[in-house]
């Protein structure tokens, strides 16, 4: 146990009552504080089971989980859950309450004063990209699916938890809004340094969002590694089949600029107007920029907008 681990799982497993076999076989995992970890796997492989043991919606059949060094079995479930944000695909918004009442739920229970709750609601709505004046008094039924999911996110973050659990949060949202929400959650994570465990069965989403990816199959973790490592060094046959793609263009969608960029040529040429892209962009996106621009490279920038490297066709070919 190092101090930088937000979540440590030691031999946790789960066998449901009357089940033939475990939904999760004994598993050890260390989730670094401030990291964005995606959990990838087919339906029924145990992603939700793994996630729900972290906030004790399920109790493990064996093993233990430490959060910031503390055994969660010794923390009252309600207290534990108020420190962990939880977002689910169906949102579970309280439809009889306004948006502000939904978001204020946990702060209210925690007994914050009115003034503080009010400011918090405005901050959170701004954070998730919804105008407070327009949305505070509305009801969930008056929002689009994407907007509802943003509120689900705001509500989960209300008491500023350091850990967020997200179970296929964007699974029911159309492709365009989904991409926007993915960028949004990446931005929020970079800004607030939350530790995020994010379940998905979309490999693109897992690779795009995760600093590291947990690949699961049939109740077992197959590999836990950075996206690029999973791509280049799949741990076994299952992972290889999962990430293997004859479609070169699709493969590029799994690789991020920051993992392959040439950092020696970080400074932009003043006389050329090279297209720019954030370091989390996929090579797929970079290739599009290259094709559309007039330079032979794309300038990569970090979240503070500092130039950190370049990607040319050479890097893309190697990926």
Ligand X SMILES: Nc1ncnc2c1ncn2[C@@H]1O[C@H](COP(=O)(O)OP(=O)(O)OP(=O)(O)O)[C@@H](O)[C@H]1O
Interface residues for ligand X in 203-232 (CB under 6 A)?
A: none
- Write down the least CB distance from residue 155 to ligand X, Å: 21
Taking phi first (over 0 means left), then psi (-120 to 50 degrees means alpha), and beta for anything else, what does residue 59 get? beta
3, 180 Cβ separation under 8 angstroms: no
Instruction: Indicate the residue among 95 and 232 with the shorter CB distance to another protein.
Output: 95
182, 22 Cβ separation under 8 angstroms: no
- Write down the least CB distance from residue 103 to another protein, Å: 11
Site track for ligand X across 42-71, x = CB under 6 A: -xxxxxxx----------------------
Structure tokens at 167: 């179970």
Structure tokens at 26: 């004994």
Longest dimension (CA), the chain: 70
- Write down the least CB distance from residue 23 to ligand X, Å: 3
3-state helix, strand, coil in the chain (%, to 5): 40, 25, 35
Candidates 148-156, 169-177, 275-283, 299-307 — which segment interacts with another protein by CB under 8 A?
148-156
Q: Is 88 in the site for another protein (CB under 8 A)?
A: yes
Which 3 state secondary structure label does DSSP give 148? helix
Interface residues for ligand X in 250-289 (CB under 6 A)?
A: none
C-alpha torsion angle, residues 38, 42, 46, 47 (rounded to 10): 20
49, 39 Cβ separation under 8 angstroms: no
Taking phi first (over 0 means left), then psi (-120 to 50 degrees means alpha), and beta for anything else, what does residue 65 get? beta
Candidates 1-9, 92-100, 229-237, 285-293 — which segment interacts with another protein by CB under 8 A?
92-100
DSSP 22: -
Instruction: Indicate the residue among 48 and 299 with the shorter CB distance to Mg ion.
Output: 48
CA distance 120 to 126: 10
Which 3 state secondary structure label does DSSP give 96? coil
**140 interacts with, out of ligand X, another protein, Mg ion, none, CB within 5 to 8 A per kind:** another protein
Instruction: Indicate the residue among 42 and 76 with the shorter CB distance to Mg ion.
Output: 42
Q: Is 94 in the site for another protein (CB under 8 A)?
A: yes
Q: Residue with structure tokens 């970890």?
A: 37
DSSP 103: H
- Write down the least CB distance from residue 76 to ligand X, Å: 22
Binding residue (CB under 8 A) for another protein from 152, 210, 219, 227: 152
Candidates 97-105, 176-184, 263-271, 302-310 — which segment interacts with another protein by CB under 8 A?
97-105
- Write down the least CB distance from residue 71 to ligand X, Å: 23
DSSP 50: H
Tally Cβ neighbours within 10 Å of residue 209: 24
Binding residue (CB under 8 A) for another protein from 106, 124, 203, 242: 106
Instruction: Indicate the residue among 23 and 280 with the shorter CB distance to ligand X.
Output: 23
Order of strands across the sheet that contains 276-278:
276-278, 297-301, 307-312
Q: Is 48 in the site for Mg ion (CB under 5 A)?
A: yes
Q: Is 281 in the site for another protein (CB under 8 A)?
A: no
Q: Is 91 in the site for another protein (CB under 8 A)?
A: yes
Interface ranges with another protein (CB under 8 A): 55, 57, 77-83, 86, 88, 90-98, 105-106, 109, 139-142, 152, 155-156, 165
Interface ranges with Mg ion (CB under 5 A): 48
Interface ranges with ligand X (CB under 6 A): 16, 19, 23, 41, 43-49, 201
């Amino acid at each position: 146990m190092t101090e930088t681990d937000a979540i440590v799982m030691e031999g946790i497993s789960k066998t449901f009552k009357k089940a033939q076999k475990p939904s999760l076989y004994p598993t050890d995992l260390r989730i670094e504080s401030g990291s964005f970890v995606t959990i990838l796997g087919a339906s029924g492989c145990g992603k939700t089971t793994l996630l729900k043991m972290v906030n004790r919606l399920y109790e493990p059949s064996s093993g233990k989980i430490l959060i910031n060094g503390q055994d969660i079995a010794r923390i009252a479930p309600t207290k534990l859950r108020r420190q962990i944000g939880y977002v689910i695909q169906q949102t579970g918004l309280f439809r009889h309450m306004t948006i502000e009442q939904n978001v204020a739920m946990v702060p209210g229970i925690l007994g914050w004063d009115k003034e503080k709750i009010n400011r918090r609601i405005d901050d959170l709505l701004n954070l998730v990209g919804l105008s407070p004046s327009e949305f505070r008094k509305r009801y969930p039924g008056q929002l689009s699916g994407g907007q509802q999911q943003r509120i689900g996110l705001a509500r989960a973050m209300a008491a500023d938890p350091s850990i967020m659990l997200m179970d296929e949060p964007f699974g029911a949202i159309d492709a365009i809004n989904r991409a926007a929400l993915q960028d949004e959650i990446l931005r929020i994570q970079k800004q607030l340094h939350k530790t995020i465990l994010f379940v998905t069965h979309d490999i693109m989403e897992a690779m795009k969002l995760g600093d590291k990816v947990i690949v699961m199959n049939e109740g077992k973790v197959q590999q836990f590694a950075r996206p690029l490592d999973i791509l280049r060094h799949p741990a076994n046959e299952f992972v290889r089949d999962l990430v293997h793609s004859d479609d070169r263009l699709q493969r590029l969608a799994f690789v991020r600029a920051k993992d392959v960029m040439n950092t020696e040529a970080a400074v932009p040429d003043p006389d050329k107007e090279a297209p720019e892209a954030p370091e989390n962009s996929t090579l797929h996106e970079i290739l599009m920029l290259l094709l559309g621009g007039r330079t032979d490279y794309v300038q990569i920038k970090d979240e503070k907008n500092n130039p950190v490297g370049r990607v040319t066709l050479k890097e893309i070919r190697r990926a």
